Structure 1
Amino acid sequence: MNKQIAYINQSQSVGLDIIRFSSAQLVIWGHLLNYYFGYHNSPASLLGNGKLFIQNLGVVVFFILSGYLIGHSVLRQHKKNAEHPFLEYFIDRFSRIYVTLVPCLLLIVSIDYANISLSDSYAYLNSYDLFHFLGSFLMLQDFPYEIFDGVTSFGSARPLWTLAVEWWLYLAIGWCILCFPSEKESGALYFVVLSFFLIVPFYNIYGGRGNGIGLLFIFSAFSLWCKYNIRIFKLTNLHLFLILLVFIALTINRFVKVGYFYDFLGMVLILIDFLVTISILSNLNIFNNQYPLLKLLAGSSYALYITHYSIIDLYMKNFKINNMIIDLIVPYSISMVIAILVWLLFDRHYRIVSMKLKSLLSRKLKPVLIKFK
């Protein structure tokens, strides 16, 4: 396997941070504008009349970005030839997700409790209980085919539906590649576990809330394999830039025509735009320095994505004064500050948690570990 598979250069890293931050901003501003102006009058709708909401574009880009990075993570883990490759991969993903999710869920418990205490119009009372809290913690919210019937996102944490989809995609892709049985091994356990992991991804491949957004994630994840194993011809940056302009034009034309961002062909066009952009950045050295502020803002995007909706709902239901500038800037600023604090206190330490968990399993549980290989 090519040694460069796990490598992201400085220009690409900065570009990915810009994309991550921009996506989160599209989501929070889309929800802010919807809350203040109302769904059908919101400037977040690029075409008006409830069409092409910018927050949906942000979600699409988040899925593409996550898929691309998971592709890197899986291929890097595969290259290491570790004794328990899937277990190490699982610990990395678990730490990345839950180090931030747990404090954010507890924060949402407090935010929603304040909302319930102050407002008679809290809309999520039916899902504000221990049952839905545990369901969201275990990534069972909106599980398809009524297997866990009635479980939806906890309280006002509406964006958590996307996190559950991504979690099961993480597991399915990691298991599929890292645990593929050899000729001497029985594939029975492999396919049983893979079948369970694929329930949510399969539902979101042919439909689901994002209209096939799960398949977009998979395309993005496996784009790296294609890049390093299917080399037809090499393109210069000029060629790539011209291709990017053409596909941006096709993307805009498609979305204007269909009127919504969860259109599968349109999402594939965004994926192509993304991959061409990353390819251009791989050949450039325009970002040679570290950018701490960008790293901070991009790093806090995960916590921002989870918590912003609850903060906006609390403010708009109880503190709105019908001054557009104040009513947009105050909940936005609070959301950003809280997200940055979560990143500083928890999120940025997930690698330390991951290493400690691996060390603990290696020392204490090695005799009883199933050998995932």
Structure 2
Amino acid sequence: MSTPIGAGTGTDGHAMSEMASAYLDALRAAGANMVIAAHVVALYFHAVDPYSLGNLGVAIFFLLSGFLIMQSMLNWLNKPEPRFPGFFADRVARIMTPYVPALILITLANVLLIQSNHSQGGANTGLLTFIGNLLLLQDHAAFQGLEVAGIDLSWRIRSYNSAEPFWTVAIEMWIYVSMGLFVFCVLKRERIDRWLGAALVAVALPVLIWNAAAGGGKSLTLIWLLGAIAGYLFHVWRANGYPGIRFVGTVLLGFGLIALIGRAGKVGFHPYDFQTATLMAMVMFGVLALLMCVRNLPGVLRGSVNFLASYSYSLYLAHNTVLIVVLENVRVESTWLHVAIAVAAAHGCSYVLYMAFERHYRIVGRWLRPKFERSLAPRGTLQPSSAAADLVTGGPAAVTRQER
């Protein structure tokens, strides 16, 4: 769910190596497949994920997301105002370009092909749930806070039945909004329309706060912030030419790995535990620092990793529904053959979703930016002409790599 790469290149001339970029891509692809493995175990073998692979995949996504989005925000600070509308438009495009068609297709699959109920309580099918998922309000902090207060609403919006992974997408989106508002509008004093700004704060800030201490992942906001801190430190480090990179990478990797093994042996491996996630971050970014020193990368390896990572977000969105459709509609004697068919179908359908929608997110972002700039502009300010908006956003022909 998190990431294209390219966040490592900057204007200071110290570009991220191809090996380091491939490593981030590999983490993204691995995270999506860990989540698939967890759902296969649950659906086809009726067992609890024994190695916390699903939670590990989500934790990796949030660490990568924080790392890359922090660098994206720092890059946006070098652009002329307005900056928050452009940043926000890019995030919406990156999240929603495959998400909306995936939601529509998943809804149709649940109506036509899926008979089982995957509800955690509350509303998980029907028009209200569809609209709630479309607006990324599934399992919103307000619902969870009411549950803690003893008020569990029967119409509480959940992820749309088989679309169980959607709960993390909503959290990630509202973290983006919260952090964008903080960086651009609080720290940099950029002005936006007060009423729309207040509405965004009212929806996004509770998600940021709640998921720092509770929510499905218990501390996903803090895990995202760990990645963001690493992203900021790498940004500053890059500007200085990465001094002592081998030593720092070795220390981070060695200390983090030894401590992580020790903690897992003592209390078990729980990726959502903040201390465990901190040690995971040390290992992940320690390896990244060491790979920054490796320049040569075989073309076959680069192409393979890039391919697997390219559709990882679409895979994250669609895989659970495809697994359930195959489980309920394809009859095979061998469980392992059933699993192989389901996993292959999940990858195939997700790649089609990527080709049809996800890969076009930059085009959607360029289309959205001037519209967001007009909508979020403070009342009474002069609106830029379409030509001026093109200059600010890079023009209709500009294509820039964006991080997620």
What is the TM-score with the length of structure 2 in the denominator? 0.78
Ranges in structure 2 where 5+ consecutive residues have no aligned partner: 1-9, 147-152, 384-404
> Secondary structure of 1:198's match?
helix
Tell me the residue number matched to 1:49.
Answer: none
Is the contact made by 1:5 and 1:228 (CA closer than 8 Å) also made in structure 2? no
Tell me the residue number matched to 2:216.
Answer: 209
Tell me the residue number matched to 2:262.
Answer: 253
Among candidates 14, 23, 29, match of residue 15 of structure 1: 23
Tell me the residue number matched to 2:400.
Answer: none
Tell me the residue number matched to 1:301.
Answer: 312
Listed one character per residue, the Cα deviations across residues 93-132 of structure 1 (whole Å, up to 9, x for unaligned) are 111111110111111012212334xx4x334495111111
> Secondary structure of 1:226's match?
helix
- 1:12-91 residue pairs with structure 2 within 5 A? 12-40=20-48, 44-46=49-51, 53-80=52-79, 82-91=80-89
> Secondary structure of 1:39's match?
coil
**Cα distance change on mapping 1:174 and 1:5 into 2, 3 Å:** farther
Is the contact made by 1:5 and 1:224 (CA closer than 8 Å) also made in structure 2? no
**Inter-partner Cα distance in structure 1 for 2:216 and 2:331:** 30
**Inter-partner Cα distance in structure 1 for 2:57 and 2:248:** 27
Tell me the residue number matched to 2:397.
Answer: none
Determine if the alignment matches structure 1 residue 122 to structure 2 residue 130: no
**Cα distance change on mapping 1:223 and 1:326 into 2, 3 Å:** same
- Structure with bigger helix share is 1
Tell me the residue number matched to 2:284.
Answer: 274
**Inter-partner Cα distance in structure 2 for 1:263 and 1:184:** 35
**Inter-partner Cα distance in structure 2 for 1:275 and 1:159:** 25
**Inter-partner Cα distance in structure 2 for 1:104 and 1:57:** 23
Deviation at 1:83, TM superposition (A): 2.1
Among candidates 130, 136, 140, match of residue 139 of structure 1: 136
Root-mean-square deviation (Å) = 3.3
Is the contact made by 2:123 and 2:158 (CA closer than 8 Å) also made in structure 1? no
**Inter-partner Cα distance in structure 1 for 2:307 and 2:296:** 20
**Cα distance change on mapping 1:276 and 1:354 into 2, 3 Å:** same
Determine if the alignment matches structure 1 residue 283 to structure 2 residue 290: no
Is the contact made by 1:70 and 1:221 (CA closer than 8 Å) also made in structure 2? yes
**Inter-partner Cα distance in structure 2 for 1:39 and 1:371:** 60
Is the contact made by 2:136 and 2:170 (CA closer than 8 Å) also made in structure 1? yes
Instruction: Answer with 11-20 or 252-261: which moved more.
Output: 252-261
Deviation at 1:364, TM superposition (A): 10
**Inter-partner Cα distance in structure 1 for 2:178 and 2:328:** 39
Deviation at 1:167, TM superposition (A): 0.4
**Inter-partner Cα distance in structure 2 for 1:294 and 1:133:** 34
What is the TM-score with the length of structure 1 in the denominator? 0.84
Deviation at 1:87, TM superposition (A): 0.4
Tell me the residue number matched to 2:356.
Answer: 345
Identical-residue share of aligned pairs (%): 26
Ranges in structure 1 where 5+ consecutive residues have no aligned partner: 47-52
Instruction: Answer with 63-72 or 142-151: which moved more.
Output: 142-151
Deviation at 1:61, TM superposition (A): 0.5
Tell me the residue number matched to 2:402.
Answer: none
